[in-house]
Homo-oligomer: A and B are copies of this chain.
Amino acid sequence: MSDLLARLRGRGWRVTSQRRVVAEVLDGDHVHLTADEVHARAAQLLPEISRATVYNTLAELASLGEVLEVSTDGRAKRYDPNAHRPHQHLVCSNCGTIRDVHPTGDPLADLPAEERFGFTVSEAQITYRGLCPSCNG
CB distance from A32 to the nearest CB of B (A): 13
Give the complex CA separation of A107 and B90 in angstroms: 13
B125 A130 Cβ-Cβ under 8 A? no
A136 B115 Cβ-Cβ under 8 A? no
This protein's copies in its complex: 2
Q: Verify if A48 is at the interface (C-beta below 8 Å from B).
A: no
CB distance from A98 to the nearest CB of B (A): 11
Knowing A121-B129, A128-B121, the reply to whether A90 touches B116 (Cβ < 8 A) is: yes
Q: Verify if A3 is at the interface (C-beta below 8 Å from B).
A: no
Give the complex CA separation of A75 and B110 in angstroms: 27
> Which A residues are within 8 Å of any B CB, using their own CB?
69, 71, 73-74, 76-77, 90, 92-93, 99, 101-105, 107-108, 110-112, 115-133, 136
Can you list the 3 inter-chain pairs with the closest CB atoms, starting with the nearest? A121-B130, A118-B133, A103-B110
A-B contact pairs, 18 of them (CB 8 A): A71-B74, A90-B111, A90-B121, A92-B119, A101-B111, A103-B111, A104-B110, A104-B111, A105-B110, A117-B133, A118-B133, A119-B136, A122-B130, A123-B130, A124-B126, A124-B128, A124-B129, A125-B129
